[in-house]
Amino acid sequence: MTATVLCAPLTPPAEITTALPGTVVTAADLAAAGRAIEAQPEGVLVVLAPSLEFDDVLAFLEAQIALRPWLDVVVMRERVELADVRRAVRAGARDVLEASDVTGLADTCALLADRAARRVVPTIVAPERTSRGKVITVFSAKGGAGKTTVATNLAATLNDRGAARVCLVDLDLEFGDVAITLRLDPRKTRADMLTWDEFTPDAVPSLLTAAGPRFDCLLAPLGPGQGEKLPPALTGRLLEHLAENYDYVVVDTPAGFTEHVLAALDASDRLVLITAPELPSLKNLRLTLDMLDLLGYSKDIRSLVVNRADVKAGLTPADLEDVTMTPLTAHIPSSPDVPASINRGVPLAVDQPEHPLSRALRRLVAERLDTDRVVRGKHRAPLFARLMRRKAAA
């Protein structure tokens, strides 16, 4: 972040200006702010003072974000109303803060400055690829097992600081947490596919958000109800397209066998099934295995992973396998470093590559996921395709 543009018709309090990072450029009105933005590099931060008319602020936001999707804008109000927050965020604001919240302003600006410094460009274009990448779906039928934590760290492990091209897909279309876990800016999400009449490969790069070098994410919709409007058939087409352009596609799923999840299972080369060392979670893993057997998915592509495996829950490793009635593939330890890494927006696998969690995921990749010993079976029609044919015939 090289400069902050502060738009304030009235002279702002000194504590406001001191909370802003970089060189502070003041503008007396929104027109002057627009000119100041044009004169700054892409790392500019914009703070809009509470004395500005709110409708003018919204119009300014929409116009600026249309021209500069990367722009970071913080809106300040004398009083923060939930309806105003929704309108401002929808128009493109990063945050809406009360004028008296100087500490919150400083923290938000520091976070945005750090994120702007790490911002990179999505890298989907890979014309040199001659083979299909692997689709790895991370699933748990029980919420709270740490599925998103495993998925984000697994994607970072596979990416290996840019050594492999990886795309992380948030398939939890109602309550996806990939964006907030990685502190990403969800300017574009799967909701933008609602305008598509059919699958449009050339438009896929515009939906992606970069999380690091050669590490891109396709984020879940932000608005309530948007996810249920997305045709499940697009999910299968999308994952196959991504597999043609990335070395690995990691899919983070909701806790349930939705039509989108079934489409992802059909496209998957590997399944990573997550459980916690607790009886309800283990019971749901057993039911998941029974369901996968019923639907005809190969046992060979499954990896059973116990997250927070070292929590003292009164169950031994033998007890865990007795409940699931199948051998467990990997054990990921618990650590207070995990929530701390989530709050920073940096996967532990990146921040601490020698952490026990990071080492456990590298072993999982080496022993089960990054091997060609298992080939996706072609002995049956994909389940989702069979369901679609059954619906068409009904």
Q: Is the pLDDT of residue 361 over 90?
A: yes
369-388 pLDDT per residue, tens: 876 644 444 334 455 555 55
In 3-state terms the chain splits into helix, strand, coil percentages (rounded to 5) of 45, 15, 40
**Nearest residue to 73 via CA among 55, 59, 56, 61:** 61
131-176 pLDDT per residue, tens: 789 999 999 988 888 899 999 999 999 999 888 999 999 999 888 8
SS3 250: strand
168-221 pLDDT per residue, tens: 999 998 888 998 888 887 778 888 887 777 788 888 888 888 888 889 999 998
- Joined together, the tokens standing for residue 329 give 């593939």
CB distance 139 to 169 below 8 Å: no
Please tell me the pTM assigned to this model: 0.67
User: Which phi-psi region, left, alpha or beta, contains residue 153 (left: φ > 0; alpha: ψ -120 to 50)?
Assistant: alpha
Q: What's the rounded Cα separation, in Å, for the pair 370 and 367? A: 7
78-95 pLDDT per residue, tens: 998 888 888 888 788 888
Mean pLDDT lowest for which of 138-152, 200-214, 231-245, 347-361?
200-214
